[in-house]
Chains A and B, each alone.
Chain A
Amino acid sequence: MSLSPWIWFAALLTLCTFSFLWRDNPFYKFAEHLFVGVSVGYTITILYWNAFLPRVWEPIVINHQFYVLLPTILGILSFAIFFKKISWLIRYPIAFLMGAACGISVPRSFQGYIFRHMQGTITAISPGQSNLLLISNIIMVIGVIATLLYFYFSIEHKGFIGKVANVGIWYIMLAFGAGFGYTVMARVSLLIGRLQFLLHDWLGVID
């Protein structure tokens, strides 16, 4: 059995959290509120050390890079929300964040989502492949087209289009099944990890 107070604390918090399986109770509520508090405190600390100090405090106060005052003032404008008369000023920092984020995302979405997947699909079927690989790739290409057609709502899913869209549903259901299976396995592996912590690290009853 572990003698470390931290291991004991972590084990008790783990048990408090698992107690929710019985029903909502004060032990779970305690652990839940503690978790929220520590997580927010952690976020504040990380923001302070990794964002505020190196990007605001040091450039302005130590390095005298006064242009950093511009984004700082833009950020401070977000506090306008606390004053009813000037609350509209928060739109400036939000507009900057939204505009810049959208501008950054447009070409990168083309590159990461559209071109890469199009390229992978178009170049999948090529000469010199084994029969199994060729059939697999044909199945994949048909699946991409069928799934895309299922999500294309500008034309009615009737006749040939309806049939292809229906094939798309089969592919989507298969992908959801695989995704569900993987998610369950990930959660079960976390559960095994917690049980290992309780039985090995805390109680020391297993090797």
Chain B
Amino acid sequence: MKRQFPLAIAFICGIGMIIQFFIPHPVSQRTYQEVLQWQIIVGIFMAIIAIRSLFVVHIDKIKRKKEGWGYSFITLFAVLFTAFVGIRIGIGEDSLFNDLYAYIIVPMQSTMFSLLAFYMASAAYRAFKARTAQATLLLVVALIVMFGRVPIGEKVAPWLPAFIEWILMYPNMAAQRGILLGVGLGMIATSLKIILGIERGYLGGG
């Protein structure tokens, strides 16, 4: 019951979904849609566990007065306030919830990512030393792509955008294809290992 039954569930669901793919019948399609619905429903409860975990971490931080515990109040208040506004008041286009999204989440998300421009530049300055011919190639291609994607690049060398396009379409595509073929084979192998019960790490110990 503790180990064999979950393994049987994974096997039946996995094999069932593989077989379903090859049956172009409305019943098969409905089964697929239903399984997707079930995954979302189970996912809701998994998300509740994750949200509870956030609360536990921050409440514990406040209780033990750990370093920066005052900020945990901000996080907890923001979670409860946003959820209250979204669930009780609504999520329409002119709602407060929409404003929270447009004026807090969107600007902060793009600012956080834009910060990476500085850190990538600084990391690249320290790490990108043209020690080997291959490292030089990486450096040169990165510079060409960056330079060719700004207006001044095209002004200086009008052929640059077409050359970058060629790099992306052929040699870059070749490596991407090689990597993606490997990723695909890896995904299939791992999935089969889980379905057949060879890989059981997700069940945890005990």
Interface residues of A (CB under 8 A from B): 6-7, 9-10, 13-14, 17-18, 20-21, 29-49, 51-52, 55-56, 68, 70-72, 74-76, 78-79, 81, 87-88, 91-110, 112-114, 117-118, 120-121, 136-137, 139-148, 150-151, 168-185, 187-188, 190-191, 193-194, 197
Contact = CB atoms under 8 A, between A and B. Distances in A.
Residue with the highest number of chain A CB atoms closer than 10 Å, among B15, B115, B192, B203: B115
A42 B22 CA distance: 38
Contacts of A145: 178
Interface string B187-200: 11011101100000
Nearest to B1: A88
23 contacts: A7-B103, A13-B108, A13-B111, A32-B71, A35-B105, A36-B78, A38-B78, A41-B80, A79-B49, A93-B42, A100-B13, A100-B14, A103-B17, A144-B178, A169-B134, A171-B174, A173-B137, A174-B175, A178-B141, A181-B142, A181-B145, A184-B142, A187-B113
A95 B184 CA distance: 22
A104 B34 CA distance: 13
Contacts of B140: 177
A174 B138 contact: yes
Interface of B: 2-3, 5-7, 9-18, 20-22, 32, 35, 37-49, 51, 54, 68, 71-72, 74-83, 85-87, 91, 97, 99-105, 107-118, 120-121, 124, 134-135, 137-146, 149, 166-185, 187-188, 190-192, 194-195, 202-204, 206
Given A91-B6, A98-B194, A99-B13, A141 B174 contact: yes
B45 A190 contact: no
Contacts of A45: 82-83, 85-87, 91, 97
Contacts of A102: 10, 14, 17, 190-192, 194-195
Contacts of A7: 103
B177 to A, nearest CB: 5
Contacts of A37: 74-79, 81-82
B11 A99 contact: yes
A52 B145 contact: no
Contacts of A185: 145-146, 149
A99 B9 contact: yes
A121 B41 contact: no
Given A47-B47, A103-B195, 12 more contacts: A18-B115, A44-B51, A45-B82, A45-B85, A101-B39, A106-B17, A109-B191, A140-B174, A184-B120, A187-B113, A191-B114, A194-B114
